[in-house]
Amino acid sequence: MSTRLLRNRPSRIGPATLSAIVLLALAVALGWVGIAAFVATGSVVAPLTGTSGTSAAEAAGNLHWNSALVIAVGVVLALLGLISLILGLSPGARRILGVRADGSEHIGDFEVAMPTSALSQIAAAAADGVDGVSGVKASSNAKSTIVTFSTPIRDFEPIRAEVEAAVKDRFAAISFDRTPAVKVQARRSQS
Protein backbone atom coordinates (compact mmCIF):
# COMPACT_ATOMS: atom_id res chain seq x y z
CA MET A 1 0.00 0.00 0.00
CA SER A 2 1.21 3.48 -0.80
CA THR A 3 2.40 5.77 1.96
CA ARG A 4 0.79 8.71 0.16
CA LEU A 5 -2.95 8.45 0.66
CA LEU A 6 -3.92 11.87 -0.64
CA ARG A 7 -5.51 11.80 -4.06
CA ASN A 8 -3.44 13.65 -6.64
CA ARG A 9 -5.83 13.19 -9.55
CA PRO A 10 -8.89 15.34 -10.10
CA SER A 11 -12.30 13.76 -10.39
CA ARG A 12 -12.35 14.12 -14.18
CA ILE A 13 -10.67 10.73 -14.72
CA GLY A 14 -13.92 8.74 -14.77
CA PRO A 15 -15.97 10.77 -17.27
CA ALA A 16 -13.01 11.53 -19.53
CA THR A 17 -11.91 7.90 -19.70
CA LEU A 18 -15.45 6.71 -20.37
CA SER A 19 -16.01 9.25 -23.14
CA ALA A 20 -12.59 8.38 -24.61
CA ILE A 21 -13.46 4.70 -24.75
CA VAL A 22 -16.83 5.44 -26.39
CA LEU A 23 -15.28 7.76 -29.00
CA LEU A 24 -12.46 5.33 -29.76
CA ALA A 25 -14.95 2.47 -30.04
CA LEU A 26 -17.03 4.48 -32.54
CA ALA A 27 -13.94 5.27 -34.61
CA VAL A 28 -12.82 1.63 -34.58
CA ALA A 29 -16.34 0.45 -35.49
CA LEU A 30 -16.47 2.92 -38.39
CA GLY A 31 -13.10 1.68 -39.62
CA TRP A 32 -14.08 -1.97 -39.19
CA VAL A 33 -17.33 -1.56 -41.13
CA GLY A 34 -15.47 0.36 -43.84
CA ILE A 35 -12.87 -2.40 -44.20
CA ALA A 36 -15.63 -5.04 -44.23
CA ALA A 37 -17.44 -3.13 -47.00
CA PHE A 38 -14.21 -2.89 -48.98
CA VAL A 39 -13.56 -6.61 -48.61
CA ALA A 40 -17.16 -7.49 -49.51
CA THR A 41 -17.38 -5.30 -52.61
CA GLY A 42 -13.74 -5.11 -53.61
CA SER A 43 -13.99 -1.35 -54.12
CA VAL A 44 -13.46 1.73 -51.97
CA VAL A 45 -16.32 3.49 -53.69
CA ALA A 46 -18.86 1.14 -52.07
CA PRO A 47 -21.91 2.92 -50.65
CA LEU A 48 -22.45 3.17 -46.89
CA THR A 49 -24.37 -0.05 -46.52
CA GLY A 50 -23.90 -2.72 -43.96
CA THR A 51 -22.95 -6.26 -44.92
CA SER A 52 -26.48 -7.40 -44.05
CA GLY A 53 -27.96 -5.19 -46.75
CA THR A 54 -29.54 -2.52 -44.51
CA SER A 55 -28.85 0.92 -45.86
CA ALA A 56 -27.53 3.64 -43.59
CA ALA A 57 -26.97 5.77 -46.67
CA GLU A 58 -30.61 6.81 -46.87
CA ALA A 59 -30.13 9.14 -43.92
CA ALA A 60 -26.65 10.25 -44.92
CA GLY A 61 -27.27 10.73 -48.62
CA ASN A 62 -25.16 9.14 -51.29
CA LEU A 63 -21.92 8.87 -49.31
CA HIS A 64 -19.22 6.32 -50.08
CA TRP A 65 -16.60 4.88 -47.78
CA ASN A 66 -13.84 6.81 -49.52
CA SER A 67 -15.64 10.18 -49.27
CA ALA A 68 -13.87 12.94 -47.41
CA LEU A 69 -16.74 13.33 -44.94
CA VAL A 70 -16.66 9.71 -43.78
CA ILE A 71 -12.88 9.74 -43.46
CA ALA A 72 -12.97 13.08 -41.59
CA VAL A 73 -15.61 11.78 -39.15
CA GLY A 74 -13.47 8.72 -38.42
CA VAL A 75 -10.33 10.80 -37.90
CA VAL A 76 -12.13 13.35 -35.70
CA LEU A 77 -13.66 10.58 -33.55
CA ALA A 78 -10.27 8.92 -33.15
CA LEU A 79 -8.53 12.22 -32.26
CA LEU A 80 -11.23 13.22 -29.77
CA GLY A 81 -11.02 9.80 -28.18
CA LEU A 82 -7.23 9.96 -27.85
CA ILE A 83 -7.32 13.51 -26.47
CA SER A 84 -10.00 12.55 -23.94
CA LEU A 85 -7.99 9.50 -22.92
CA ILE A 86 -4.83 11.58 -22.40
CA LEU A 87 -6.74 14.23 -20.42
CA GLY A 88 -8.44 11.58 -18.32
CA LEU A 89 -5.22 9.82 -17.42
CA SER A 90 -3.03 12.90 -16.89
CA PRO A 91 -2.96 13.96 -13.25
CA GLY A 92 -3.90 17.61 -13.69
CA ALA A 93 -3.08 20.40 -11.28
CA ARG A 94 -2.77 19.76 -7.56
CA ARG A 95 -5.76 21.09 -5.71
CA ILE A 96 -4.62 20.23 -2.23
CA LEU A 97 -2.01 21.63 0.10
CA GLY A 98 -0.30 19.47 2.70
CA VAL A 99 -0.50 20.54 6.34
CA ARG A 100 1.77 19.32 9.13
CA ALA A 101 -0.15 17.94 12.05
CA ASP A 102 1.34 16.69 15.28
CA GLY A 103 0.03 13.22 15.98
CA SER A 104 -0.37 11.56 19.32
CA GLU A 105 1.77 8.61 20.27
CA HIS A 106 -1.15 6.23 19.81
CA ILE A 107 -1.96 7.53 16.32
CA GLY A 108 0.15 6.24 13.47
CA ASP A 109 1.18 8.16 10.40
CA PHE A 110 -1.54 10.25 8.84
CA GLU A 111 -1.74 13.06 6.36
CA VAL A 112 -3.69 16.27 6.61
CA ALA A 113 -4.52 18.35 3.57
CA MET A 114 -6.45 21.49 2.72
CA PRO A 115 -8.06 22.16 -0.64
CA THR A 116 -6.95 25.29 -2.44
CA SER A 117 -10.53 26.60 -2.36
CA ALA A 118 -10.33 26.66 1.45
CA LEU A 119 -7.01 28.48 1.20
CA SER A 120 -8.71 31.16 -0.92
CA GLN A 121 -11.47 31.53 1.66
CA ILE A 122 -8.97 31.88 4.51
CA ALA A 123 -7.05 34.55 2.59
CA ALA A 124 -10.24 36.44 1.72
CA ALA A 125 -11.43 36.35 5.34
CA ALA A 126 -8.08 37.66 6.59
CA ALA A 127 -8.09 40.49 4.03
CA ASP A 128 -11.72 41.37 4.71
CA GLY A 129 -10.88 42.10 8.36
CA VAL A 130 -8.58 44.99 7.45
CA ASP A 131 -10.01 48.51 7.81
CA GLY A 132 -10.59 50.27 4.50
CA VAL A 133 -11.28 47.10 2.51
CA SER A 134 -14.69 47.13 0.87
CA GLY A 135 -14.53 43.90 -1.16
CA VAL A 136 -12.17 40.94 -1.49
CA LYS A 137 -11.58 38.24 -4.06
CA ALA A 138 -8.94 35.54 -3.65
CA SER A 139 -7.73 32.70 -5.86
CA SER A 140 -5.22 30.03 -4.93
CA ASN A 141 -3.29 27.13 -6.30
CA ALA A 142 -0.84 24.84 -4.51
CA LYS A 143 2.01 27.38 -4.81
CA SER A 144 0.49 30.84 -4.49
CA THR A 145 -2.49 32.92 -3.49
CA ILE A 146 -3.58 36.12 -5.22
CA VAL A 147 -5.76 38.47 -3.17
CA THR A 148 -7.52 41.32 -4.94
CA PHE A 149 -9.29 43.86 -2.78
CA SER A 150 -11.19 47.04 -3.49
CA THR A 151 -11.11 50.19 -1.42
CA PRO A 152 -12.60 53.66 -1.78
CA ILE A 153 -9.42 55.27 -0.37
CA ARG A 154 -7.12 56.94 -2.90
CA ASP A 155 -3.84 56.15 -1.17
CA PHE A 156 -4.27 52.39 -0.91
CA GLU A 157 -0.61 51.38 -0.48
CA PRO A 158 -0.75 51.29 3.37
CA ILE A 159 -3.93 49.22 3.17
CA ARG A 160 -2.31 46.89 0.62
CA ALA A 161 0.64 46.34 2.94
CA GLU A 162 -1.71 45.70 5.87
CA VAL A 163 -3.76 43.21 3.84
CA GLU A 164 -0.59 41.39 2.77
CA ALA A 165 0.60 41.23 6.38
CA ALA A 166 -2.80 39.97 7.59
CA VAL A 167 -2.90 37.18 5.00
CA LYS A 168 0.72 36.16 5.66
CA ASP A 169 0.08 36.13 9.42
CA ARG A 170 -2.99 33.91 8.92
CA PHE A 171 -0.98 31.54 6.72
CA ALA A 172 1.89 31.50 9.25
CA ALA A 173 -0.56 30.28 11.90
CA ILE A 174 -1.24 27.20 9.76
CA SER A 175 1.59 24.66 9.56
CA PHE A 176 1.74 24.12 5.81
CA ASP A 177 4.26 21.69 4.35
CA ARG A 178 5.06 24.49 1.92
CA THR A 179 3.62 27.92 2.67
CA PRO A 180 2.11 29.46 -0.47
CA ALA A 181 3.37 32.81 -1.74
CA VAL A 182 1.01 35.76 -1.29
CA LYS A 183 0.43 38.46 -3.88
CA VAL A 184 -1.93 41.34 -3.10
CA GLN A 185 -3.52 43.61 -5.69
CA ALA A 186 -5.57 46.70 -4.93
CA ARG A 187 -8.38 48.21 -6.93
CA ARG A 188 -9.96 51.59 -6.19
CA SER A 189 -13.74 51.45 -5.96
CA GLN A 190 -16.17 54.31 -6.34
CA SER A 191 -18.29 55.03 -3.27
Query: What tens digit of pLDDT does each residue of 33-71 get?
Result: 777 777 777 776 666 654 444 555 455 556 667 778 878
Confidence of residue 128 (pLDDT cuts 50, 70, 90): very high
Comparing 20 with 5, the larger pLDDT belongs to 20
Cα of 60 vs its chain's centroid, Å: 36
Tell me how far apart the alpha carbons of residues 128 and 185 are, in angstroms, rounded to a whole number: 13
Tell me how far apart the alpha carbons of residues 35 and 102 are, in angstroms, rounded to a whole number: 64
Query: What tens digit of pLDDT does each residue of 155-178 get?
Result: 889 999 999 999 999 999 988 888
Convert 85-122 into a string of H (helix), E (strand) and C (coil). Answer: HHHHHCCCCCCEEEECCCCCCCCCCCCEEEEHHHHHHH
Report the amino acid identity of residue 143: K
